[in-house]
């Protein structure tokens, strides 16, 4: 007996059904990988996913309904009940909160008839007349133009409480797009075409600017020469861990007879980081060119770009760019007549920060709950996608590859500092006059130069209190801290010098020596108006919300820290709180499956450790 076809599936048009089949064809190794994309198709069509959707998708992919249900209940993006007609997602994470997103959220709720009685921390509320659903979401990777909200598919930047009615009632941008000329200190490679009025993401425009010349040059080189060049360039991954890219590529044995995969990490969710979205939106072919050079070097025939679903426009732009590049023979069968084949597909995430962790991303791409894998043995270069050798690289990292081939490893390396070659995009948010993205030679600026010369200084009348240099996971650095740095003299002898925060060089080695990290280069500036308990509580809420829950110390500890700082913020501060917070954090770090454990502990350890007075009962 055949099972009855679920009712809602009758309402899928033939065009949508064709899209479903086309989507499944993007995953020739395992159609389970199409689970999240099919959930997106269903939710976009019906607004939410009920049991008919679960059963229909399960049947389509030869899975059990529980395999689909476990995804819906994990990923925050998916709904099991209908939303309002319009969905507004307001960012509640640090840079937006500092710029007033809580006030915007409140104004929106009031304008939608929700009054002041709703729970501010409820992640979703729907207006009584069903006209809209307002959600508080985590960082939308636009921290430099905070506060921001995603209305439907459209990102609105620099919003104010006074914009509430307009956000609810119209589709127009509340602020127009602003173009900013690069600062004279910048050395733009990656961002050369980003934020330009005279540039568009089409292949015609890209080709007019020398596009795909590096791919042509690379395909005339031996693959191992490309890897050697990337190694010599001293390029370090721009996703957060800073691993040398050429060394990582060197783990792949081209001729081992196994399929190899290249997966681009476009999940960009680390609070304070906002560079990849601009590249995807404004210069998509730059990424494709870098990917194809990598694919040739690593013998990859199938590659995916994992893009967080909060970037719906980026996914569409990338898909269009892939189609254009395929038409021009840069992607697909017989690339540039070489006999080499490589397909590239876009894969959208579903709203979970943990999917930025590379092994979680691969689980997600395989259509499973994105629980990070244990390393060892699951280093992606050995056991990656579908258990085959896989290189996972950040969007910005792969874009650099094009420039390494164009200008050569030696020139590229010279743009940066020792062991940290090239340029990198510093994303500056928080309390400066000109927040934004700045592409600078690695290690070519100090904290003081960045704040005062490049970002226009602090806001009038304010003094610096602290910086978080590499995304919210990085340990905070106090304005009055002194750091011991090793310096080599002209005679090669090493001496130790003491350096102020303002003289601290912003690169991987210096920040590691200062006890923090460059991480994803999301530099958040905090001035003397900031209450560190409030700041840490915002960060703790983020991590408590985003823990995947696989390890007990992280699942329980991140929530516990958040509950303690929330209570303290409401005025109930106990003399034992500071020690308890640090005690919880100390018991998470180093005891978990993935580095999220450290990421959620470091803020508490450093904020409480360095601003103890703000975590003690007032007057004690
Ligand atoms: C909790 C967590 C979140 C992460 N989020 C991202 C991310 O959003 N984007 C990214 O490129 N890397 C992220 N990473 C780092 C990736 O695991 C991985 O190191 C990176 O994608 C490798 O690319 P790269 O070598 O080019 O930097 C994250 C790591 C952790 C532990
Ligand atoms: S450390 Fe946290 S995020 Fe990472 S696997 Fe464990 S529970 Fe999940
Ligand atoms: S976009 Fe809001 S904090 Fe990043």
pLDDT digit string, tens, across residues 311-328: 999 999 999 999 999 999
Question: From the CA of 300, how far away is ligand 3's center (Å)?
Answer: 34
Q: Is 592 in the pocket of ligand 2 (CB under 6 A)?
A: yes
Question: From the CA of 588, how far away is ligand 2's center (Å)?
Answer: 10
Residue 306 — very low, low, confident or very high, per pLDDT cuts 50/70/90? Answer: very high
Cα 418 from Cα 420, distance rounded (Å): 5
**Sequence-ordered list of residues with C-beta below 8 angstroms from that of 90, at least 6 positions apart, any chain:** 96, 101, 104, 105, 108, 134, 135, 136, 137, 147, 148, 149
The pTM of the full predicted model, rounded to 2 decimals, is 0.96
Q: Which atom of ligand 1 is nearest to the CA of 598?
A: 31
Joined together, the tokens standing for residue 529 give: 């108006």
620 has pLDDT over 70? no
Question: From the CA of 168, how far away is ligand 3's center (Å)?
Answer: 20
Residue 485 — very low, low, confident or very high, per pLDDT cuts 50/70/90? Answer: very high
Q: Is 37 in the pocket of ligand 2 (CB under 6 A)?
A: no
Positive/negative CA dihedral, 139, 315, 389, 328: negative
DSSP assignment string, 201-212: SSHHHHHHTTTT
**Residues in the chain, how many?**
620
Question: From the CA of 595, how far away is ligand 2's center (Å)?
Answer: 7
For 295-304, b/e burial (b = at least 16 CB within 10 A) is: bbbbbbebbb
Report pLDDT digits (tens) over 499-512: 999 999 999 999 99
For residue 63, the tally of other CB atoms under 10 A from its CB is 16
Residue 5 — very low, low, confident or very high, per pLDDT cuts 50/70/90? Answer: low
Q: Which ligand is nearest to the CA of 273?
A: 3
Report pLDDT digits (tens) over 143-179: 999 999 999 999 999 999 999 999 998 777 666 667 7
Which residue, judged by its Cα, is nearest atom 4 of ligand 2?
Answer: 594
Closest CA to 288 of 254, 328, 260, 233: 328
Contact in structure between 518 and 503 (CB atoms under 8 Å): no
Question: In the beta sheet, which residues pair with residue 343?
Answer: 302
Q: Which atom of ligand 2 is nearest to the CA of 546?
A: 3
- In angstroms, how far is the first alpha carbon of the chain from the final one? 75
Report pLDDT digits (tens) over 279-300: 999 999 999 999 999 999 999 9
**pLDDT for position 492:** 83
Q: Which ligand is nearest to the CA of 268?
A: 1
Burial class (CB in 10 A: 0-12, 13-18, 19+), 584: buried
Q: Is 265 in the pocket of ligand 1 (CB under 6 A)?
A: yes
**pLDDT for position 418:** 87
- Percent above pLDDT 90 for the chain: 90
SS3 at position 126: strand
Question: From the CA of 570, how far away is ligand 3's center (Å)?
Answer: 24
Which residue, judged by its Cα, is nearest atom 2 of ligand 1?
Answer: 357
**Sequence-ordered list of residues with C-beta below 8 angstroms from that of 81, at least 6 positions apart, any chain:** 48
Question: From the CA of 372, how far away is ligand 2's center (Å)?
Answer: 7
**pLDDT for position 487:** 84
Q: Which residue has the higher pLDDT, 8 or 346?
A: 346
Q: What is the largest CA-CA distance in the chain?
A: 85
Give alpha helix (H) positions in 408-448: 409-414, 447-448
Cα 50 from Cα 60, distance rounded (Å): 16
SS3 at position 196: coil
206 has pLDDT over 50? yes
Closest CA to 101 of 54, 64, 150, 45: 150
Q: Which ligand is nearest to the CA of 435?
A: 3
Residue 8 — very low, low, confident or very high, per pLDDT cuts 50/70/90? Answer: confident
Q: Is 397 in the pocket of ligand 1 (CB under 6 A)?
A: yes
Q: Which atom of ligand 2 is nearest to the CA of 550?
A: 7
Cα 74 from Cα 39, distance rounded (Å): 13
Closest CA to 308 of 504, 479, 139, 99: 139
Describe the crossing of helices 51-60 and 65-72 by its angle, rounded to 10 degrees. Answer: 120
Q: Which ligand is nearest to the CA of 599?
A: 1
589 has pLDDT over 80? yes
Contact in structure between 101 and 146 (CB atoms under 8 Å): yes
Q: Which atom of ligand 1 is nearest to the CA of 245?
A: 25
**pLDDT for position 176:** 63
Question: From the CA of 549, how far away is ligand 2's center (Å)?
Answer: 6
Alpha-carbon dihedral 167, 274, 542, 114, rounded to 10 degrees: 0
Average pLDDT value for residue range 431-446:
97
Q: Which ligand is nearest to the CA of 430?
A: 3
Burial class (CB in 10 A: 0-12, 13-18, 19+), 409: buried
Which residue, judged by its Cα, is nearest atom 25 of ligand 1?
Answer: 237
**pLDDT for position 491:** 84
Residue 120 — very low, low, confident or very high, per pLDDT cuts 50/70/90? Answer: low
Q: Which ligand is nearest to the CA of 548?
A: 2
Nearest-5° Cα angle at 609, 608 to 611: 60
Burial class (CB in 10 A: 0-12, 13-18, 19+), 22: exposed
Report pLDDT digits (tens) over 66-105: 999 999 999 999 999 999 999 999 999 999 999 999 999 9
**pLDDT for position 179:** 72
Measured between alpha carbons, how far is residue 300 from residues 288, 358, 452 in Å? 14, 18, 45
Q: What is the DSSP letter of 127?
A: -
Q: Is 396 in the pocket of ligand 1 (CB under 6 A)?
A: no
6 has pLDDT over 90? no
Question: From the CA of 379, how far away is ligand 1's center (Å)?
Answer: 13
Q: Is 519 in the pocket of ligand 1 (CB under 6 A)?
A: no
Q: Which atom of ligand 3 is nearest to the CA of 94?
A: 3
Mean pLDDT, the chain, rounded, equals 95
Q: What is the pairing mode between strands 86-91 and 149-151?
A: antiparallel
DSSP assignment string, 144-175: GG-S-EEETTEEE-S--GGGHHHHHH--S-SS
**pLDDT for position 114:** 86
What are the backbone angles phi and psi of residue 390, rounded to the nearest 5°? -140, 135
Closest CA to 186 of 405, 428, 410, 388: 428
Average pLDDT value for residue range 214-226:
97
118 has pLDDT over 70? no
Residue 123 — very low, low, confident or very high, per pLDDT cuts 50/70/90? Answer: confident
**pLDDT for position 177:** 67
**pLDDT for position 170:** 75
Starting at the edge strand that comes first in sequence, how are the strands of the sheet with 477-478 ordered?
Answer: 436-441, 423-430, 522-527, 464-468, 477-478
Which residue, judged by its Cα, is nearest atom 28 of ligand 1?
Answer: 357
> Which range has the top average pLDDT, 2-16, 115-129, 253-267?
253-267
Cα 372 from Cα 206, distance rounded (Å): 37
Q: Is 55 in the pocket of ligand 1 (CB under 6 A)?
A: no
Average pLDDT value for residue range 594-607:
98
Starting at the edge strand that comes first in sequence, how are the strands of the sheet with 154-156 ordered?
Answer: 124-126, 132-137, 86-91, 149-151, 154-156
Contact in structure between 232 and 410 (CB atoms under 8 Å): yes
Q: Is 598 in the pocket of ligand 1 (CB under 6 A)?
A: no
Q: Which atom of ligand 1 is nearest to the CA of 240?
A: 15
Average pLDDT value for residue range 516-535:
98
Contact in structure between 280 and 307 (CB atoms under 8 Å): yes
**pLDDT for position 1:** 46
Report pLDDT digits (tens) over 27-64: 999 999 999 999 999 999 999 999 999 999 999 999 99
Residue 124 — very low, low, confident or very high, per pLDDT cuts 50/70/90? Answer: confident
């Amino acid at each position: 007996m055949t099972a009855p076809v679920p009712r809602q599936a009758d309402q899928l048009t033939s065009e949508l059904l064709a899209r479903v089949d086309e989507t499944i064809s993007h995953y020739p190794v395992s159609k389970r990988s199409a689970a999240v994309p099919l959930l997106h198709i269903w939710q976009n069509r019906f607004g939410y996913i009920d049991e008919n959707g679960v059963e229909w998708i399960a049947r389509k992919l030869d899975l059990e309904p529980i395999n689909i249900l476990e995804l819906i209940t994990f990923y925050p993006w998916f709904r099991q009940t209908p939303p309002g007609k319009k969905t507004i997602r307001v960012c509640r994470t640090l840079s937006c909160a500092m710029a007033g997103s809580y006030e915007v959220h409140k104004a929106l709720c009031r304008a939608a008839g929700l009054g002041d009685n709703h729970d501010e921390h409820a992640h979703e509320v729907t207006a009584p007349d069903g006209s809209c659903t307002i959600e508080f979401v985590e960082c939308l990777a636009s921290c430099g133009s905070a506060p921001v909200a995603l209305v439907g598919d459209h990102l609105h930047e620099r919003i104010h409480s006074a914009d509430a009615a307009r956000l609810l009632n119209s589709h127009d941008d509340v602020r127009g797009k602003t173009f900013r000329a690069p600062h004279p200190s910048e050395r733009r490679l990656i961002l050369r075409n980003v934020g330009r009025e005279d540039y568009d993401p089409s292949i015609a425009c890209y080709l007019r600017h020398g596009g795909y010349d590096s791919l042509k040059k690379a395909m005339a080189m031996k693959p191992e020469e490309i890897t050697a060049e990337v190694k010599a360039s001293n390029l370090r991954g721009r996703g957060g861990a800073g691993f040398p890219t050429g060394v990582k590529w060197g783990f792949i044995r081209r001729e081992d007879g196994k399929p190899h995969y290249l997966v681009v990490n476009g999940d960009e969710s680390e609070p304070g980081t906002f560079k990849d979205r601009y590249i995807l939106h404004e210069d998509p072919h730059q990424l494709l060119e870098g990917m194809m050079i990598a694919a040739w070097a690593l013998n990859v025939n199938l590659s995916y770009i994992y893009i967080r679903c909060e970037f719906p426009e980026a996914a569409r732009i990338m898909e269009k760019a892939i189609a254009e590049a395929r038409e021009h023979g840069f992607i697909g069968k017989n690339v540039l007549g070489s006999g080499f084949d490589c397909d590239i597909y876009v894969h959208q995430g579903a709203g979970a920060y943990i999917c930025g962790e590379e092994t979680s991303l691969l689980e997600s791409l395989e259509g499973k709950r994105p629980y990070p894998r244990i390393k060892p043995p699951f280093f992606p270069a050995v056991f990656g996608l579908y258990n085959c050798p896989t290189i996972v690289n950040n969007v910005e990292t792969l874009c650099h590859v094009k420039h390494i081939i164009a200008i050569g490893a030696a020139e590229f390396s010279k743009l940066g500092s020792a062991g940290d070659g090239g340029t990198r995009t510093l994303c500056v948010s928080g309390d400066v006059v000109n927040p934004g993205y700045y592409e600078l030679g690695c290690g070519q600026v100090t904290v003081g130069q960045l704040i005062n010369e490049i970002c226009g200084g602090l806001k009038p009348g304010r003094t610096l209190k602290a910086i978080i240099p590499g995304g919210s996971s990085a340990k905070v650095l106090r304005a009055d801290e002194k750091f011991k740095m090793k310096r080599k003299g002209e005679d090669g002898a090493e001496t130790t010098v003491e350096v102020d925060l303002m003289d601290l060089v912003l690169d991987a080695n210096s920040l590691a020596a200062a006890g923090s990290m460059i991480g994803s280069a999301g530099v958040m500036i905090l001035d003397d108006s900031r209450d560190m308990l409030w700041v840490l509580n915002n960060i703790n809420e983020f991590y408590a919300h985003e823990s995947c829950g696989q390890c007990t110390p992280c699942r329980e500890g991140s929530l516990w820290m958040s509950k303690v700082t929330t209570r303290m913020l409401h005025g109930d501060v106990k003399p034992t709180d500071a020690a308890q917070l640090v005690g919880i954090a100390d018991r998470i770090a180093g005891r978990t499956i993935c580095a999220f454990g450290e990421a959620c502990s470091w803020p508490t350890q450093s904020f409480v450790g360095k601003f103890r007075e703000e975590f003690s009962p007032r007057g004690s």
